[in-house]
Structure 1
Amino acid sequence: MKIQTKVAYLALAMSAALLTGCGDTTVTINELPPIVGDDHDHDDDHDHGGVNAAGRLVLSAIDSAFVQVLELPAKTELNTFVVSTTPSALYASGDYRYAAVVQRNDDLVQFIDGGLWQEDHVDHMDDFQAAPRLMPFQLSQVRPTHFSAADGQLAVFFDGNAATGAAAGVAVLTDADIGEDRSDYPQLSLTTHQHGLAQPRGEFLISSIRDANSSTTLPDQVGLYHQHGDHFDLEEIFAVSCPNMHGSAQNHEFIAFGCSDGVLLIEQDGETFTASKLANTDEFSGSMRIGTLAGHDAAEHFIGLAGAAVFAIDAEDAEMALLDWQPGAATAIWGYGFAEQGEKFVLLDNTGALTIFNYHGHEHEGSDEPAFEFAAKLALTAANLADLPAGARFQLAISAADDKVYVTDPIARQLHTIDLHDAEVVNTKQLNFIPHRITWLGIAEPEHGHHDH
């Protein structure tokens, strides 16, 4: 398997054009001057105190191939790009500089440079900013599906295709790979298609493995792979099985995978990896299983989602506890994640409400106080959810630089800014299109403009 990179030339021969195709949506595309490469003079758009610390947002529109970049905190429009087809998902790269614009059914991932990045100058870090741009770097393997970012790396899992016989595979990218349009980034070629997943761990990769004779597309084993140049070699298949695997996450010491019978936990100690199984608790019944996991390098716990049930998973102590997130009428979770450098956890549900937890880790070890403390619930809409446009739902983006999260409302065509510290909506922007996908880009730990409470 070789994932090809190619240059796409999109001709927008206009300074202001109108793009339609989202029902009655009208979007104005404002072309900005072209940006030179990363080897530009450091004086370009660089002010040691003036680099945007709040970051930028990337949004797509329902049933449209346009993608818009907004400057935070004011959410002003910086640029709008036309990609090849309607994006199915948006993800941030490993260091949050680039947005992966996923077009799954077209076997394509394009990348947009958000224009904010940081460079290590040995004795200090310098922050830089430039105008956004559509990158020449692309991925064009079959069915890009699961994206997992950790410690500056982004693992892209391609499911392959049962009908055509295309096998699954993984590409592991750094921001430098994307920015320099490299083709020698490490890749893993698997032997059959699968609805799989992978987690990058430096020179190692933890990836799902599926038996080609299995009756399901879901894998049931996990392999440890070691990078050698532009490829990965299999070092070990863990003996602990994970039937109907779906969902994965990692923190500083553990990698977790959701299984129908529990959670597979893999602990890393240097170059040694040890697998164990944390079985489902008595709160599970019927076909209930954890199919989504969230982790953070600064958090000792994982969060596991089993439908609308939320579980705190202590990997070190091998414990799983059901959280009362006061769901009310909610029956599904649409967005989730650790926020504020791992100090909070947020849930966006299908009533349009945002639930905020304070995360305490093992601060309360030995007491009855939970690691996740319910802090607040914000109702972000009073509209009838039956009025949601077809294919749309509320979407969540989490800042990696401060205590803000952003939620799109496709019914009202709005974009909300929520301050997690004060648990309140601090700003709402009216959009002239129906929002679909969203992600945050920026500098996770900016040298200037740190948020402080």
Structure 2
Amino acid sequence: MNVKTSIKHLAVAVSVALVSACGDTKVNINEKDPIVIEKPGHDHDHDEVNASGRLVVTALDSAYVQVLELPAKTELNSFLVSATPSALYASGDYRYAAVVQRSQDLVNFIDGGLWQEDHIDHMDDYQAAPRLMPFQLTQVRPTHFASAEGQLAVFFDGNSVTGTAARVAVLTDADIGEDRTDYPQLSYETHQHGVAQARGEYLISTIRDANSSTTLPDKVGLYEQHGDHYDLEQVFAETCPGLHGSAQNHDFIAFGCSDGVLLIEQAGSTFTASKLLNTAAFTGTMRIGTLDGSHSAEHFVGFAGTTLFAIHPEDGEMEPIDWQAGNATAITGYGFAEQGEKFVLLDNTGTLTIFNYHGHAHGDEAAFEFVSKLPLNTGSNTTLPSGSRFELAISASSDKVYVTNPITRQLITVDLHDAEVVAEKQLPYVPGKVVWLGIANPADDHHAH
């Protein structure tokens, strides 16, 4: 299905009934009219545009979505979407939150209200009230979201029961904001649980044999954009059995395979593939199933369950990362922070692990240097509300990260530079998902007025 249906904004000052996950808590849905703070001309300051960003938070088992202003975490707006969000992701330039409702084949978008425009000789920042956008995606089973360099690639798995084939949509913030229908898409001939990475006019996306007994692909193709669609230019000879998970950095795109990591290197318009096989550190059924990367980092981080690996594609190295897991049995959040200078992990005990990232290791210095562990939950995990977990949002404009604690209904701010909790916010509902929106490089970082 490739249908886009406009959504009407929620009525102003409409109170709604009980949110299902919030006990006896009532929430008010108040969508305010957008007020853009524009600063015409070149002789102005940007103090009134919020450089800290905003958080989008969902309530557990509810269609309720709230937008909070940082750093105080005061409520700006609240919205109701169609169903309980299964995930939240930021758009390519962090202006919009993709509110995923996978089982309903739906992705709504919320404008966080902070954005930046290039005025040739300088950058200007703008601010408005958050709003629910008319733009939405309605293809079947939106599953994997990958953003980099201003683009968001959305992979739709399709449906084996109905025979619906997989698709990929690649969006910019302008596509979302202008409610466009001509954004580029890739249409497959069969379903698959795949992934895609967008790189300008190119798309590196998975390929599954329609006769395969598994929904997982085992090959990767290079596609090139032609208007509103992509054409296949190359199928890489290197295979990737049981492919799951992908990431990219400045020069490489990586895919997790049951036998190692498939690496695609880009040099201009030339793409070449190589395979980094699992090392002796892999035992039993261990395999890389999740990857993370940053255009500011040379390494990828590969996840084999709760075992982490530092992957250096240029040198073909894969080394274990000692993150001192302790009692943790799962990782619930992760990512590079502070423009690639740090890496953070949140585990299912509610503990945040912080690393300094040094890039290429020299001598005895590890690429990922353990800094600190912060236990953010002092209670028992047995009291976690059903279906909930600790969630992580990483600021792209500062050294702050934000963690939800569904046991205490708190939103916790952590300063990575000092490795300490600096603020806690009590929420009137059990938090579900959370994502940071804002301006990654505020205008004051580019120039002074």
TM range (shorter): over 0.9
User: SS at the partner of 1:177?
Assistant: helix
8 Å contact 1:345–1:358 — kept in the other structure? yes
Q: CA deviation at 1:350?
A: 1.1
How has the CA–CA distance of structure 1 residues 359 and 11 changed in structure 2, closer, same or farther, with 3 Å as cutoff? closer
Point out where structure 2 has 5 or more consecutive residues left out of the alignment.
Answer: none
Aligned runs of 1:153-164 on 2, under 5 Å? Answer: 153-164=151-162
Q: CA deviation at 1:14?
A: 3.9
8 Å contact 1:53–1:448 — kept in the other structure? no
Q: CA deviation at 1:332?
A: 1.1
How has the CA–CA distance of structure 1 residues 403 and 238 changed in structure 2, closer, same or farther, with 3 Å as cutoff? same
Q: Which range moves more in the overlay, 92-101 or 23-32?
A: 23-32
- Distance in 2 (CA, whole Å) between partners of 1:41 and 1:388 is 44
8 Å contact 1:25–1:433 — kept in the other structure? no
Aligned runs of 1:206-217 on 2, under 5 Å? Answer: 206-217=204-215
- Distance in 2 (CA, whole Å) between partners of 1:184 and 1:215 is 34
2:330 aligned partner = 332
Q: CA deviation at 1:6?
A: 1.7
2:285 aligned partner = 287
- Distance in 2 (CA, whole Å) between partners of 1:33 and 1:395 is 28
- Distance in 1 (CA, whole Å) between partners of 2:353 and 2:26 is 32
Q: CA deviation at 1:447?
A: 1.5
User: SS at the partner of 1:26?
Assistant: coil
- Distance in 1 (CA, whole Å) between partners of 2:317 and 2:12 is 59
- Distance in 1 (CA, whole Å) between partners of 2:277 and 2:385 is 39
Q: TM-score, normalised by structure 1?
A: 0.95
1:419 is aligned to 2:415: yes
- Distance in 1 (CA, whole Å) between partners of 2:275 and 2:241 is 11
Q: CA deviation at 1:18?
A: 4.3
1:77 aligned partner = 75
2:265 aligned partner = 267
- Distance in 1 (CA, whole Å) between partners of 2:24 and 2:386 is 14
1:376 is aligned to 2:361: no
Q: RMSD over aligned Cα, in angstroms?
A: 1.6
**Which of the numbers 222, 231, 234 marks the counterpart of 1:233?**
231
Q: Residue deviations 1:423-448, cap 9 Å, x none?
A: 00000000010001010000000123
Q: CA deviation at 1:9?
A: 2.2
2:393 aligned partner = 397
Q: Which range moves more in the overlay, 323-332 or 109-118?
A: 323-332
- Distance in 2 (CA, whole Å) between partners of 1:186 and 1:211 is 23
2:25 aligned partner = 26
Q: CA deviation at 1:28?
A: 2.2
**Which of the numbers 102, 121, 138 marks the counterpart of 1:123?**
121
Aligned runs of 1:434-453 on 2, under 5 Å? Answer: 434-448=430-444
1:201 aligned partner = 199
- Distance in 2 (CA, whole Å) between partners of 1:424 and 1:113 is 30
- Distance in 2 (CA, whole Å) between partners of 1:8 and 1:120 is 29
User: SS at the partner of 2:271?
Assistant: strand
- Distance in 2 (CA, whole Å) between partners of 1:47 and 1:178 is 28
Q: Residue deviations 1:280-330, cap 9 Å, x none?
A: 010111111010000000000000000010100001000000011011111
- The count of residues paired between Structure 1 and Structure 2 equals 443
1:173 aligned partner = 171
User: SS at the partner of 2:443?
Assistant: coil
- Distance in 2 (CA, whole Å) between partners of 1:273 and 1:449 is 34
**Which of the numbers 376, 381, 385 marks the counterpart of 1:385?**
381
Aligned runs of 1:139-154 on 2, under 5 Å? Answer: 139-154=137-152
Q: CA deviation at 1:29?
A: 2.0
1:96 is aligned to 2:101: no
2:135 aligned partner = 137
Q: Residue deviations 1:243-296, cap 9 Å, x none?
A: 000000000000000000000000000000000000001011111101000000
